[in-house]
Amino acid sequence: MLFELLQRICKDRPENELQREYSGLGAHSPYQETRWGEGSHATMMKDNKCEDAHENIYLNRFNNILPFDSHLLKCSKGYINASIVSPLDQKYIITQGPLCSPDTREAFWCAVLENNVSLIVNLAPFGEECADYLPPMHSCEYPVQIINEEVQDNKVICREIHIGDHHLEHIQFNHWPNYSLPLEAETLASVVRLAHSKRKDNRGETLVHCSGGVGRSGTFVTTLATWQALQDIAENNTLSHSAQDLKPKVVGLVKTAVETIRDQRHPWAVEGVNQYGLIFTILGQLAENTRD
């Protein structure tokens, strides 16, 4: 009953309703996203909120997507554009896609090992958006080996990777254009479901990246965190099964998750009302294929 209601709530939400909710995101923050993003970056710089990133500006893919110092991921190799975020009390690591020049791939793998990452979700194709950090295209001091690779529906690549004694799983989804929406929401929903399943099976950390590590990554992590929270609600039966009760709860969970990621990673996480609306579309897709 809960997931049947969720499907109805999330399906074809009115655009004006989504726009109103999206416009109110981050109203408490001095770094609230503006339409073109020109205000938040300047304010962050003025308030010295991203000094580490600014000191290592050449290691950032974009000079205006600098992570907050307060939640910066630490790495013995030095600075890496990566943040620890905790939407809805769940821990994730969000990073930019590694660079080829200057080469940040060694630092990326170092961060993976030092933070016990057991699942990587890559939402950007290798090339201009993200340096290829997998063998045989890249060799490094870490013995990275692809043990198994499977392609699902010609769109999702699932890999099992070993780095010495460290084992992790890698999911790559290349069909989500930057600043835009995937052509098939059903496939992205399957990626969220797959990541959710692997998080339950693995005890390590989950790392998500796209190109800049804000729009697609923020949208994906928000969706995954909200889906986990709704699963917990269903298991604990802590919400009456009525659309009147469920809708504000779901909207509240999504908004809280987005605002947390923006406060801890960057104010541009979830870029635009279309990506915000996509979260509900994917939740509806997940609910459609879930039984109470």
In the chain, where the domains are located: 2-288
Is omega for the bond preceding 136 within 30 degrees of 0, making it cis?
yes
Catalytic residues: 210
| Helix ranges restricted to H, the chain | 2-10, 15-23, 38-46, 51-55, 105-114, 185-201, 215-236, 243-264, 272-288
User: What does the block give as tokens for 170?
Assistant: 């890698």
User: Where does residue 141 rank: exposed (0-12), middle (13-18), buried (19+ CB within 10 A)?
Assistant: exposed
Tens digit of pLDDT for each residue in 63-85? 999 999 999 999 999 999 999 99
**pLDDT on residue 239:** 64
pLDDT of residue 154: 84
Highest mean pLDDT among 18-27, 41-50, 254-263: 254-263
Report how far residue 151's alpha carbon sits from residue 149's, in angstroms, rounded to the nearest whole number.
Answer: 7
Give the pLDDT confidence score for residue 26 in this predicted structure. 80
On the question of pLDDT at 163 being above 90, the answer is yes
- pLDDT more than 90, % of the chain: 75
In whole angstroms, what is the distance from residue 176 CA to residue 108 CA? Answer: 22
Residue 289 has which token pair? 């294929």
Residue pair 45/55 in contact by the 8 Å Cβ criterion = no
Q: What residue type is assigned to position 159 of the chain?
A: R
109-159 pLDDT tens trace:
999 999 999 999 999 999 999 999 998 877 778 899 999 999 998 899 999
Distances (CA, A) of 230 to 140, 164, 225, 227: 40, 36, 9, 5
For residue 262, give the nearest of 19, 27, 21 by alpha carbon. 27
Enter the CATH code of domain 2-288.
3.90.190.10
In tens, the pLDDT along 232-271 reads: 988 887 666 666 778 999 999 999 999 999 999 999 999 9
pLDDT of residue 81: 99
